[in-house]
Amino acid sequence: MPVERTLVLLKPETLQRGIVGEVISRFERRGLKIVALKMLWMDRDLAERHYAAHRGKDFYEPLIEYITSSPLIAMVLEGDEAIEVVRKMAGSTDCREAEPGTIRGDFGLSTQKNIVHASDSSESAEREIALFFSPDEIHDYDLSVSRWLK
């Protein structure tokens, strides 16, 4: 099982609605390791680079406007097959179609405001992580719960 890293964005509505903790908590409980985390206000340049694959689509301009309208949380999660695991936890892009039990299925009703973004492949993960984090902002450490209970 490959240990992978994936980029997750907690989109602006997650902060606005006060559900950042609940969403992060799901990833922690699943056993994913937070190796980088920051709050930032995306500018247009970063948003356009992040969503370059969607340029020209009808939802592109509203998406760029929305994602730059308020701060968000960016994080890198690490774990066995983290890319696929996190995508499954997020659920279908359209929250209304997302299964209950998934993050989008439990917290959203929108396609644009769909709570989280998660990298969809190892190529995307590598590219997206580099957009948001410099290597010295990503931390290697042992995740050993028992060490902290002594």
Question: Which residues lie near ligand CMP (CB under 6 A)?
Answer: 54, 59, 63, 93, 111-112, 114, 117
Nearer to ligand CMP, 5 or 50 (CB): 50
How near is the Cβ of 47 to ligand CMP at its closest, in Å? 10
CB of 54 or CB of 127, closer to ligand CMP:
54
Comparison of 41 and 139: residue with beta carbon closer to ligand CMP: 41
- Are 95 and 109 within 8 A, CB to CB? yes
CA angle 3, 6, 7 (to 5 degrees): 160
Q: How far is the CB of 46 from ligand CMP (least distance, A)?
A: 13
Whole-angstrom distance, CA of residue 44 vs CA of residue 81:
31
Which helix or strand (DSSP H or E) is residue 130 part of? helix 122-132
Strand intervals (E) in the chain: 3-10, 33-40, 72-80, 116-118
Q: Which two tokens stand for residue 40?
A: 């930032």
The answer to whether residue 139 is catalytic is: no
Nearer to ligand CMP, 52 or 139 (CB): 52
Comparing CA positions, the residue from 21, 2, 16 lying closest to residue 103 is 21
Mapping DSSP to helix (H, G, I), strand (E, B) and coil, where does residue 129 land? helix
Catalytic residues: 117
